[in-house]
Structure 1
Amino acid sequence: MLTVKRTALAVMMISALLSGMANAAEKATPVFTPEQEARIGEVAKDWLIAHPDVLVVVSQKLQAQQQEEQQRSMTAAAIQNQAALLNDKGTPSYGPTDAKVTVVGFFDYQCIYCARLAPELEKIIKANPKTRFVFKEFPIFGQRWPASLSAAKTGLQVWQQKGADAYLKYHNALYATGHNEGKLTAGDISTAAKAVGLSAKTAPDVQETLDGINTLAQQLGFSGTPALVVMPATGASADNVTVIPGFTSAAALQVAIDKAAVNGEK
């Protein structure tokens, strides 16, 4: 299936190139007769069919160019939305408020890749005590699995009612259940919330915060989870901001933190 998609992309790219050549030819003095042009087209088509590896190479190059453009676009959007990423008081955070570097993560408790990222992130948090970590509850599976949305709301309530340490404990406890992709239960959420002392009777309304996170994710071009942004508190630029739209390792995340630290200590 992937090969077919790449071939289709390559055909589109080659078609666009041939179209551009045709338009240019219309403006210039004709070099070939219509019959000759038709024959050249047939020969080129037959050659490409006989050498499909060329289509794969072209499609790979096109895909790489698209990814690079997407990365530049997301990085620019992150810099433009730095205040929303770093300064939303309704969003949970852990670490010093005056940190030189911040790691912002968008995640869903039902996302299997978020679950795989959780232990990697735990390693990074322990290894970087001077770095601040911001947790954007982004329950993209809320309509499919109600526990996704419920867990996100409860997490925000824990943050607002009990603070950073309680939130991180709740956050890690849900991933420690190993219940993702629709397996998280109301019992799992209740157990984790009770363990950190959340009072359901006085839990605040957090819908506005969730709506704001969803809007921010759209502005950044994030359609899935996990998604990470690593940036310095000041002097953010394309050279020191890293956007990671997907799973990553602790080692890769550390590289991003080190890059952002050019403006100060980690």
Structure 2
Amino acid sequence: MTHTLKTLATSSMLALAVFSAAPAVALDEQQKKEMGAFIREYLIENPEILIEAQNALEAKQQSKRVEQSMKGIADNRQQIFSSPTDITLGNPKGDVTVVEFFDYNCGYCKRALSDMDDILAKDNNVRFILKEFPILGPDSLAAHRVANAVRLLAPEKYAQFHRTLLGAEEHASEATAVAVATSLGLSEAAIRKSMAEKPNDDIVRQAYQLANSIGITGTPTYILGDEAVFGAVGSEVIEEKVANVRACGKATC
């Protein structure tokens, strides 16, 4: 370390000590300028410190996010894994449950649709719950209202409805969702009657509350065991976490 850097380090530590031990003692203008010059010189000569600080900040934020998600999951297990308003695909008595928060207009959810199908095709002991989470505007909310009507009127057709609407390239809306539902044999009049009489406002509100508790800000987000998995991470990552839940009861052993 050069003499200048040693001086800087010593001065910085002394300044911190002064600020910590005696907050009432303030640097005069000249001391502030000298301290500022020392810090500026040190950072210019050692810019990697800024990267280290950024990495440390991101790690701290991620740690807090994981802590929040685990607490949110622990506090809301009944609503997450056993809500009567959710649709379950795969094995309803499977030994591992995967919960997916999704939006019909989420591009990443569309790409992740094949991940769900791959998992269900390979593993006949997975219970897969679809958690409707419309966050991408009025059209998403309307499409999910239609989906709720399908769930109520013909739950046996929901899986096909879900795959068709989510797998479509076009933007999801009330009109496109109704078109998918009627193509499966449902009556448009019955759909609209169900939407009017039994809207899914409470279901959506509960999903928002759960997401807020867990720290979910986007889709898709998966819940496995005690852990939230954020983003379209791919079927291999989900399969690995399913195996972990079987092995140790947690998504990460």
TM-score normalized with structure 2 length: 0.79
Alignment of 1:261 with 2:249, yes or no, is: no
CA distance in 2 between counterparts of 1:205 and 1:94 reads 23
C-alpha distance after superposition, 1:95-145 (max 9, x if no partner): 333322111111111111111111112111212221111111111012xxx
Same amino acid, percent of matched pairs: 24
Give the aligned partner of residue 6 of structure 2: none
* 1:19–1:73 Cα change, 3 Å: farther
Give the aligned partner of residue 194 of structure 1: 182
Give the aligned partner of residue 226 of structure 1: 220
| Structure 1 position 170, deviation (Å) | 0.8
Aligned pair count reads: 229
| Structure 1 position 53, deviation (Å) | 2.4
Alignment of 1:104 with 2:99, yes or no, is: yes
CA distance in 1 between counterparts of 2:144 and 2:78 reads 22
1:122 aligns to what SS in structure 2? Answer: helix
2:69–2:227 Cα contact (<8 Å) kept: no
| Structure 1 position 191, deviation (Å) | 2.6
Give the aligned partner of residue 22 of structure 2: 26
1:162–1:197 Cα contact (<8 Å) kept: no
Alignment of 1:46 with 2:41, yes or no, is: yes
2:22 aligns to what SS in structure 1? Answer: helix
2:142–2:173 Cα contact (<8 Å) kept: no
| Structure 1 position 26, deviation (Å) | 2.1
Give the aligned partner of residue 92 of structure 1: 87
2:20 aligns to what SS in structure 1? Answer: helix
Which structure is larger by alpha-carbon Rg, 1 or 2? 2
C-alpha distance after superposition, 1:48-87 (max 9, x if no partner): 0333222012211211221122112102211221100011
| Larger CA deviation: 191-200 vs 206-215 | 191-200
| Structure 1 position 188, deviation (Å) | 2.6
Name the amino acid aligned to 2:201. Q
1:225 aligns to what SS in structure 2? Answer: coil
Q: 161, 171, 174: which one pairs with 2:165?
A: 174
CA distance in 2 between counterparts of 1:103 and 1:186 reads 27
C-alpha distance after superposition, 1:199-255 (max 9, x if no partner): 342524322222222222122121221111012xxxxxxxxx221122211000111
C-alpha distance after superposition, 1:151-181 (max 9, x if no partner): 1111122122212x411111110122122xx
Question: Which sections of structure 1, spanning at least 5 residues, go unmatched?
Answer: 1-16, 232-240
Give the aligned partner of residue 207 of structure 1: 201
CA distance in 1 between counterparts of 2:64 and 2:16 reads 22
2:161–2:181 Cα contact (<8 Å) kept: yes
CA distance in 1 between counterparts of 2:200 and 2:157 reads 17
1:225–1:246 Cα contact (<8 Å) kept: yes
Alignment of 1:243 with 2:243, yes or no, is: no
2:104–2:134 Cα contact (<8 Å) kept: yes
1:90 aligns to what SS in structure 2? Answer: coil
Alignment of 1:162 with 2:158, yes or no, is: no
CA distance in 1 between counterparts of 2:237 and 2:200 reads 32
CA distance in 1 between counterparts of 2:114 and 2:17 reads 53
* 1:263–1:64 Cα change, 3 Å: closer
CA distance in 1 between counterparts of 2:220 and 2:60 reads 23
CA distance in 1 between counterparts of 2:33 and 2:17 reads 14
1:258 aligns to what SS in structure 2? Answer: helix
CA distance in 1 between counterparts of 2:81 and 2:35 reads 58
CA distance in 1 between counterparts of 2:119 and 2:21 reads 58
